[in-house]
Chain A
Amino acid sequence: MSTLRMFRKKPDDLGFFGKLGFYLLLILGALVSIFPFYWMFVVGTNDKGAVFHVPPLLTIGDQFFENFKRVLDKSDFFQALGNSLFVSSMVTVSVVFFCTLAGYAFAKYEFPGKNVLFVFVIATLIVPQQLGVLPTYVIMAKLHWIDSFKALIVPAMVNAFGIFWMRQYISSAVPTELIEAGRIDGGGHFRIFWRIAVPVITPAMATLGILNFMTVWNDFFWPLVVLKNKEHFTIQIALQQLFTTRDGLDYGMIMSATFTATLPLLVVFLLFSRWVIAGLTSGAIKS
């Protein structure tokens, strides 16, 4: 209602040119946001020289498969894609399960030290990853997990953001009476969680899953530190490896690979954009 009122009021303040400038700015911002995606595809579908064409080439070409063939020659692209898919899925399943469990406990149980522990969980969010990276590497070496997916999966199996996110959601979405009723009927704790709470909170679990999948899929620093052999590279490492000057930068090839690696996430995002945005911005809104 109030937006409607604003809609009628503001334009007369701004005038025609004000309104025009207003929209031009917004549209310019949107164009800047999406142009690199389009450009990725333009370069990926044109031949090698297209990237530095003067004036810049803005039309989609027909060389995509030629370019992509060179990607397959130079890297184990699909292997890397598979590795990323495997690692991201494993981490995501585990994160969704353990974070939901912990968030449920923080939301619906009362136990000594609860608030202190929850504040501790939140506090871990602000510790920079780099502070612990060296000893973590040493631990991985001791466990003989260097160059194995375990090094990527195990430390990431549960995280503070997920616990925070699930707790917030469960607090308001799962009625305590329902849990109490389940207890009176003699249901076990885990059974009540699984049968009563989980069905109600699947949307939040799905959001957490998507967010987590994207984070793991996009991670670069830690895989770079622990992965050594080509056959274990995740897609981000494989992409970075394509970017070498050894025989002149082949941007057509690089962009066809980059586009292919970006597309799946883009599709997922566009399908679930409302949830993804809500999840990624929740940290600020709720704290």
Chain B
Amino acid sequence: MAEPVITSPHAESKRPFFTEQRRSRITAYTFISPFFILFSIFGLYPIFFTFYLSFFKWDALGPMKYVGFKNFELITTDPTFWISFSNTLIMGLMGTVPQVMLALLLAVLLHSGMTRFKKTFRILYFMPNITSIVAVTLVFSTLFGNNGMINWLLNGIGVESMAFNSGWWGVKIAISTMVMWRWTGYNAILFLSGLQSIPMDLYESAKIDGANRRQQLFFITLPLLKPFIIFVSLQSTIGALQLFTEPYVFLGQSGTGSTRQEGITMVTYLYSEAFRNGFFGTAAATAVLLFLVTILFSVLNMLISRGGGRQTGGKKA
């Protein structure tokens, strides 16, 4: 393993160029500086400014007016905000939970020694993830049309057609399906690499101790896969809370339709407050609330994953 150039006093005395320590430090700082400069301007400063902005009334042009917590009051008394909030959670749940479970199942199938063409399957499962969300949404809007293929299939198994592009649940099902399609394979590949990192001899010795396949699953595979499960569910949760492009494109056919209540999300609400209505203050307040919700759900996610691990008898891997 290659170690970094060590500059502890002990090592310095051995190094012929230790007098250049200063120069080498300056070089290092120069090499990493582009990121820190750009991030301060376009990352850090905007984040702080968002918090600041959430206490002002501003249209992005005129003077800013301090209003205290008025913006938060305004949005929390706006029914549309709460619809966007619940939509985000509902679609998040519908898109994420089955997705993670399906991904886990696919990964286990792919990992099984029986599977041939593993590489081909991996590529095929990954393909949805490289497609742009706009393209995904456009394709699925044809499948979810009133006379589209999904309704045809539903009719085929004796279920009535659903209004996927206007119904309260229809829209949510359609959008969650798009999210699932794009991410299930990706997560399955992640889980697969997790499974591949579990040493085979663990299973061998478990078999010698007489563990059956279910016991192997619950006492070896799942506990050791836990870091991956935590990562995937965390990433999916954060992604779900930022849902924007799918509903925006799917419902936006007639220009203003993307704020339709069946599919409005928190980010759509933020976007339309700022860039349609010019209310930068309330939009900033929305961003702050979105951030708090994100933190809340990330923590919850960690807690649930931890608890789940204890139940199956898994300690820290």
Binding site for B on A (CB under 8 A): 2-7, 9-11, 13-14, 19, 22, 25-26, 29-30, 32-34, 36-37, 39-40, 43, 51-52, 54-56, 98-99, 101-102, 104-112, 114, 117, 121, 124, 126-139, 141, 154-155, 157-160, 163, 171-172, 174-177, 179-180, 183-184, 189-190, 193, 214, 217-218, 220-221, 224-225, 236, 239-240, 243-246, 249, 251, 254-255, 258, 261-262, 265-266, 269-270, 273, 276-277, 280-281, 283-285, 287
In the bound complex, what is the Cα–Cα distance between A179 and B35 (angstroms)?
23
Nearest-CB residue, chain B, relative to A2: B200
In the bound complex, what is the Cα–Cα distance between A52 and B151 (angstroms)?
10
In the bound complex, what is the Cα–Cα distance between A19 and B112 (angstroms)?
11
Selected interface stretch from B3-11, B69-77, B216-224:
B3-11
Nearest-CB residue, chain B, relative to A282: B193
Residue from the list A54, A132, A171, A214 in contact with B47, Cβ < 8 A: A132
B41 at the binding interface (Cβ < 8 Å): yes
Residue contact B244 to A221, C-beta cutoff 8 Å:
yes
Which B residues lie within 8 Å of A25 (CB)? 105-106, 109
In the bound complex, what is the Cα–Cα distance between A29 and B124 (angstroms)?
9
Cβ of A141 to closest chain B Cβ, rounded Å: 7
Cβ of B109 to closest chain A Cβ, rounded Å: 5
B window 239-264: CB within 8 A of A: 241-242, 244-245, 248-249, 252-255
Which B residues lie within 8 Å of A218 (CB)? 130-134
Residue contact A111 to B132, C-beta cutoff 8 Å:
no
Residue contact A243 to B133, C-beta cutoff 8 Å:
no
Residue contact B2 to A284, C-beta cutoff 8 Å:
no
Which A residues lie within 8 Å of B244 (CB)? 130, 221
Residue contact A109 to B4, C-beta cutoff 8 Å:
yes
Cβ of A101 to closest chain B Cβ, rounded Å: 5
User: Given A128-B241, A137-B275, 9 other A-B contacts at CB below 8 A?
Assistant: A51-B145, A56-B152, A135-B50, A154-B42, A163-B32, A172-B1, A243-B252, A245-B253, A280-B186
B316 at the binding interface (Cβ < 8 Å): no
Cβ of B194 to closest chain A Cβ, rounded Å: 8
Overall SS of chain B's interface: helix
CB-CB contacts of B119-159 with A at 8 A, as 1s and 0s? 00111111111111111101111110111110010000000
With contact pairs A133-B287, A189-B24, A189-B27 given, residues A33 and B125 touching in the complex (Cβ less than 8 Å): yes
Residue contact B136 to A52, C-beta cutoff 8 Å:
no
Overall SS of chain A's interface: helix
B115 at the binding interface (Cβ < 8 Å): yes
Residue contact A281 to B113, C-beta cutoff 8 Å:
no
CB-CB contacts of B1-35 with A at 8 A, as 1s and 0s? 11111110000000111001001110111011011
Which A residues lie within 8 Å of B232 (CB)? 284
> Chain B interface residue count: which class?
35 or more
Residue contact A22 to B181, C-beta cutoff 8 Å:
no
Residue contact B138 to A239, C-beta cutoff 8 Å:
yes
29 contacts between A and B (CB under 8 A): A22-B109, A26-B106, A33-B124, A33-B181, A40-B135, A51-B142, A101-B31, A105-B27, A109-B31, A111-B24, A121-B35, A128-B238, A130-B290, A131-B50, A131-B288, A133-B287, A134-B50, A157-B38, A159-B35, A160-B39, A174-B2, A218-B133, A218-B134, A220-B245, A243-B252, A261-B135, A281-B190, A285-B190, A287-B231
Which A residues lie within 8 Å of B299 (CB)? none
With contact pairs A29-B106, A101-B34, A135-B50 given, residues A251 and B133 touching in the complex (Cβ less than 8 Å): no
Residue contact A158 to B38, C-beta cutoff 8 Å:
yes
Residue contact A36 to B35, C-beta cutoff 8 Å:
no
Residue contact B193 to A124, C-beta cutoff 8 Å:
no
Residue contact B147 to A52, C-beta cutoff 8 Å:
yes
B175 at the binding interface (Cβ < 8 Å): no
In the bound complex, what is the Cα–Cα distance between A222 and B274 (angstroms)?
13
Which A residues lie within 8 Å of B23 (CB)? 189
B173 at the binding interface (Cβ < 8 Å): no
In the bound complex, what is the Cα–Cα distance between A92 and B242 (angstroms)?
25
Which A residues lie within 8 Å of B140 (CB)? 36
B294 at the binding interface (Cβ < 8 Å): yes
Residue contact A262 to B190, C-beta cutoff 8 Å:
no
Which B residues lie within 8 Å of A171 (CB)? 2, 4
Residue contact B109 to A109, C-beta cutoff 8 Å:
no
Cβ of B80 to closest chain A Cβ, rounded Å: 17
Residue contact B145 to A26, C-beta cutoff 8 Å:
no
In the bound complex, what is the Cα–Cα distance between A285 and B194 (angstroms)?
7
